Structure 1
């Protein structure tokens, strides 16, 4: 240990490169495993893969090996050759060792294009054009991540392709967290169900109520956006009512059946929005909050702010309990 050097001008670069290489190697190894797992209908445990890759590289570093992970091209060649178990790796390693020790002169004049053709032939069967087309129909960002990863691997390297795909995926996650989906809900005729008016064309508004559904957990990252979005719905509804000579909004019903969690910032945002609406003479009531959300509300000042008479089991119950009559 006294011969190890942890100082110098390249220590920071080595640490940064090591962390990035480790992350990319782990991502590549798990991605390769899950790709072939989906083809052969078996499951891959990401935790076990991480432990295996970590132990493998720790043991390899004792013999000055470079960072090792699951190779996509080598795995494709093995799969095309009919390999099914880990014994194939032992056979392959033995063959490589014999080749390096005794057969290298025979491969000296072998063109690289011949070796490349073996890999390309094996990998070509893994390209799923129909799967990419389905991604385009289902989720455009997933399709962009797929194409970016493909082009990055094809034109630059596996590391660059994976980095781009991971970056796009993280952007998608952040977008979903900070911009959760909210909908204006209406009453489906002949029922007591309130559904999204964008999804159910037959759903109708129920003046003087504005029913808004939140389809995400409420965190510090999206609480401000949700309040602004609800106030925007209120402004648009009042403008629509003014043009149609109808009564304005007197009550906002917040459907929280899809809100799976809420933090302190979310609770504070609800309390602040209620105070603002109270000054404008508009009630704010909550419908169908799940157990964990209700528990946090009553453990905070928000439970006192709303009270038991402002929290209902369903939107229909909230509308029926209002002191003013709904006018569909």
Structure 2
């Protein structure tokens, strides 16, 4: 019986959409389903069909709670219901807004829900939410504005006052057919295909939410969907994208070597860009990746003086909008770890907030003001100068006797072009008395 009524509703909906002179059939579908189902039950009295049953006549009376002894035990339930109500209401509102091409004001929706629940509580009403099924039925009936809610509410009050005896014989399968017919239009199959093509993770989230909703209900489906989505967000946040940068030939631009295979790196230097805020949840992952890049290196073309290992790690912090105390402490530990292995950190292009945090924590002084740069290219030029002194071709007994940090902490006096350094055969010039203005650090040293 339910399938027959559903077929009738869908046929009337199709005729109403395809033929202008039969447009009225689209709105009459739900009413026709109820009338046909009730008439069939009234005539044949089938025992296998479940009916709505007796509904008390009248409206609940106004009342004010006189005792709050159950308030404490209801807090957890109220919080859960509130969360589900917000998710369900905003979810169906966004779906209808996207379907009809208008902007949704979530604050206005939540304000309306709050007012409705406050007034409804004085009449022993159920919690008010934006129901998927009722909203879909309302939309399929042709409703366009909030006036439809006032009209349907008025009709509902009149029905509860005078028509409840007629509802006793309405079959539940007829009501289910109305809901199914309305909800079908909200399922966007093209969106699922789009998600499959664009992002498999979003498609997986869509599949989990849809399956859970079908078998366990809307409330559970929404909660599971939100939970899985939060899990994805946490995973992405704790495992941020980190890229090893290389220089594009003929430019001073440095880009991800995975995205630009033609980009080349330099011997003894690794340039790393962190594409996320740095905080306690992802600092361990970042440190692990830095150690991996130091040991494993990369497969891109390397240029510059030939050295046996990494001496400089340049951190490109332009995408980093925030760094917390845990990350600052981890950065200090990383600096000490690198220092024990004769590796120097250089910082490139940190924003004002990040730079202020590092300064307050003493990281700027620890690493050295001269190792903060405006551009990655500036940092690379300086590091190349120091790598040149460590190359076997430029080494001498005096260099071997001095320690690594004693050599690199000397004031920069040389002005060696990058083209010369890339060859690995240039000699240090001692007659240069002026620093290259392009090599000026981000934080100038004060006397």
TM-score when normalising by structure 2 = 0.68
* 2:69 corresponds to 1:6: yes
| SS of residue paired to 2:267 | coil
Matched residue, 1:294: 355
* 2:308 corresponds to 1:251: no
Matched residue, 1:260: 321
Matched residue, 1:303: 364
CA RMSD in angstroms comes to: 2.3
Alignment equivalent of 2:182, drawn from 110, 122, 133: 122
| SS of residue paired to 1:321 | helix
| SS of residue paired to 1:253 | strand
Give 1:210-289 correspondences, 5 Å limit: 210-237=270-297, 247-289=308-350
Deviations 1:163-186 (A, max 9, x none): 110110110111122111111111
Give 1:1-328 correspondences, 5 Å limit: 3-6=66-69, 11-12=72-73, 14-237=74-297, 247-322=308-383, 323-325=386-388, 327=422
Q: Which moved more, 1:111-120 or 1:134-143?
A: 134-143
- CA drift at 1:200: 1.5
Please, which runs of 5 or more residues in structure 1 have no aligned partner? none
| SS of residue paired to 2:154 | helix
Deviations 1:130-161 (A, max 9, x none): 21122223333322222222222222211100
| SS of residue paired to 2:387 | coil
Give yes or no for contact 2:280–2:326 (8 Å, CA) kept in 1.
yes
Q: How many matched pairs? A: 322
Q: For residues 93 and 45 of structure 1, do their structure 2 counterparts lie closer, same or farther at Cα, with a shift above 3 Å needed?
A: same
Residues of 1 paired with 2:373 and 2:128: CA distance?
A: 57
Residues of 2 paired with 1:42 and 1:197: CA distance?
A: 43
Give yes or no for contact 2:257–2:300 (8 Å, CA) kept in 1.
no
Give yes or no for contact 1:80–1:122 (8 Å, CA) kept in 2.
yes
| SS of residue paired to 1:210 | strand
Residues of 2 paired with 1:66 and 1:150: CA distance?
A: 26
| SS of residue paired to 1:324 | helix
Q: Which moved more, 1:277-286 or 1:193-202?
A: 193-202
Residues of 1 paired with 2:373 and 2:83: CA distance?
A: 47
Give yes or no for contact 1:141–1:168 (8 Å, CA) kept in 2.
no
Q: For residues 37 and 2 of structure 1, do their structure 2 counterparts lie closer, same or farther at Cα, with a shift above 3 Å needed?
A: closer
Larger Rg: 2
Deviations 1:80-123 (A, max 9, x none): 22211111001111222222333333343332222222221121
Deviations 1:214-267 (A, max 9, x none): 0000111212221122112111129999xxx96311111111111011111111
| SS of residue paired to 1:186 | strand
| SS of residue paired to 1:195 | strand
Q: Which moved more, 1:79-88 or 1:157-166?
A: 79-88
Residues of 2 paired with 1:114 and 1:306: CA distance?
A: 74
Q: For residues 319 and 240 of structure 1, do their structure 2 counterparts lie closer, same or farther at Cα, with a shift above 3 Å needed?
A: closer
Residues of 1 paired with 2:111 and 2:363: CA distance?
A: 44
Residues of 1 paired with 2:293 and 2:267: CA distance?
A: 14
Residues of 1 paired with 2:373 and 2:300: CA distance?
A: 27
Residues of 2 paired with 1:34 and 1:113: CA distance?
A: 28
